[in-house]
């Protein structure tokens, strides 16, 4: 699939640099590879299918660039130590094991869908002298700027602001230091809070800033319209893609290696969807993830047109739900 067509996939890509900007970056950094990146934490409820949207997209982006002759480094970061910063000391060993399990899951995705992703854990590098020295430097830059520190504070939910302030915002500084030298960072829209700080530091230091590429938000399945209407902000930001227990909605998520296909089909049938493309469409989202999986299994390099087909009326709501219920089992759930 061409780079332009991938970046313009309806229902998948929300905001992106232009194809020419990404190509220019690949040229500038050559002969070093262009660094493509997606990073995530996790919880203890399992591996949500929504994480696979990012794994498969990064793989597709890498292949589109490689087909044009670029050298590419597509990496997936499992932020295990970051996940441990938000739990009690008595849970740290447990959450480190969960991180190892998530890394193994990404490697299974690698093997199944031939994605060629490089899997990294934050614990692999966070205690290295090089990283801690650079994090200290980034912290110093931010602490000397009222504007940057205000932005650092905005990366933290208001309810946890005092707790993170006491911890010196280490969770945020780990993230900013990790991403500041990347080329293209793929993630959910809310991560622009971190990306913006990294770009501002790069601009102040006259270095290349990362480019952000945001995929569409994640929404729970099996919900009626009233859920989206009564939960302010859900339409803009959705729920956390990589934590199946986000907002305690694990019963309305597809969890790979856990979810029952029959129950998932029932949830899909019950889901609110609309022909208005500005409204949440969790069924379409699952359908697009399933299409990405299918195309990799079938070595099919053609564009994904599921959103175009649905919003143009070529596929009805009933047809979409039936197709997605079948496809998610055939191309994802049954593969693990």
**Distance between CA atoms of 115 and 106, rounded to whole angstroms?**
10
Each residue of 202-255: pLDDT tens digit? 999 999 999 999 999 999 999 998 898 888 778 778 999 999 999 999 999 999
Our measurement of the distance from residue 168's CA atom to the centroid of its chain's CA atoms, rounded to an integer in Å, reads: 26
Same domain, 95 and 144: yes
* 169 within some domain: yes
Tell me if residue 121 falls in helix, strand or coil: strand
* 157 within some domain: yes
> What is the DSSP-derived secondary structure letter of residue 158?
G
Count of C-beta atoms within a 10 Å radius of residue 144 = 9
Looking at the predicted structure, is the pLDDT value of residue 109 above 90? yes
Overall number of domains in the chain: 2
Same domain, 33 and 73: yes
DSSP 26-46: HHHHTTSPEEEEEEE---SS-
Report the predicted TM-score, pTM, of the whole model to 2 decimal places.
0.95
Residue 87: the pLDDT is: 87
* 293 within some domain: yes
**Of 182, 215, 248, which residue constitutes the final position of a domain?**
215
> What is the DSSP-derived secondary structure letter of residue 302?
S
Same domain, 31 and 168: yes
Calculate the alpha carbon distances from 175 to 41, 61, 87, 202 in Å: 11, 22, 17, 15
* 220 within some domain: no
Same domain, 151 and 18: yes
Residue 230: the pLDDT is: 87
Lowest-pLDDT range of 3-7, 138-142, 157-161, 265-269: 157-161
**Of 215, 247, 278, which residue constitutes the final position of a domain?**
215
Which one has a higher pLDDT value, 161 or 36? 36
Q: Which two tokens stand for residue 192?
A: 């622009």
Pairing outcome for strands 184-187 and 34-40: parallel
Same domain, 265 and 326: yes
Same domain, 186 and 266: no
Same domain, 192 and 233: no
Residue 177: the pLDDT is: 96
Scanning 67-156, the segments in alpha helix (DSSP H) are: 80-84, 92-113, 129-143, 146-154
Write out the residue range of the structural domain in which residue 29 sits.
Answer: 3-215
Q: Report the phi/psi class of residue 115: left, alpha or beta, with left for phi > 0 and alpha for psi in -120 to 50.
A: alpha
DSSP 250-293: GGGS-EETT--HHHHHHHHHH----S-TTS--HHHHHHHHHHHH
First to last CA, the chain: 26
Residue 65: closest CA among 36, 43, 93, 41: 36
Q: Which two tokens stand for residue 320?
A: 């979409």
Same domain, 272 and 128: no
Same domain, 321 and 273: yes
CATH number for the domain that contains residue 90: 3.40.50.620
Residue 304: the pLDDT is: 97
**Of 192, 215, 238, which residue constitutes the final position of a domain?**
215
Same domain, 85 and 157: yes
């Amino acid at each position: 699939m061409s780079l332009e067509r991938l970046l313009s996939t309806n229902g998948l890509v929300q905001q992106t640099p232009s194809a020419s900007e990404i190509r220019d970056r690949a040229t500038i950094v050559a002969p070093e590879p262009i660094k493509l990146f997606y990073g995530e934490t996790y919880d203890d409820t399992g591996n949500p299918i929504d994480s696979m949207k990012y794994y498969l997209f990064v793989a597709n982006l890498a292949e589109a660039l490689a087909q044009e002759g670029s050298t590419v480094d597509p990496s997936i970061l499992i932020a295990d130590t970051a996940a441990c910063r938000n739990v009690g000391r008595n849970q740290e060993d447990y959450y480190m094991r969960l991180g190892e399990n998530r890394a193994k899951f990404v490697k299974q995705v690698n093997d199944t869908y031939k994605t060629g992703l490089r899997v990294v854990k934050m614990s692999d590098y966070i205690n290295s002298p090089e990283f801690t020295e650079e994090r200290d430097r980034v912290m110093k830059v931010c602490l000397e700027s009222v504007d940057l520190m205000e932005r650092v504070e905005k990366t933290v939910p208001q309810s946890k602001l005092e707790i993170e302030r006491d911890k010196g915002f280490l969770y945020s500084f780990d993230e900013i230091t990790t991403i500041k030298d990347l080329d293209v960072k793929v993630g959910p829209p809310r991560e622009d809070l971190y990306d913006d700080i990294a770009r501002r530091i790069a601009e102040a230091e006259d270095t290349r800033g990362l480019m952000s590429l945001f995929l569409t938000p994640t929404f729970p399945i099996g919900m009626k319209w009233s859920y989206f209407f009564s939960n302010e902000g859900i339409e803009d930001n959705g729920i956390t893609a990589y934590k199946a227990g986000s907002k305690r909605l694990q019963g309305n998520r597809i969890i790979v290696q856990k979810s029952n296909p029959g129950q998932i089909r029932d949830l899909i049938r019950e889901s609110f969807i609309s022909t208005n493309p500005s409204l949440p469409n969790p069924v379409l989202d699952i359908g697009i993830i399933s299409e990405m999986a299918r195309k990799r299994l079938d070595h099919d390099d053609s564009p994904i047109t599921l959103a175009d087909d649905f919003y143009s009326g070529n596929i009805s709501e009933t047809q979409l739900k039936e197709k997605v219920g079948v496809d998610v089992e055939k191309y994802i759930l049954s593969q693990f």
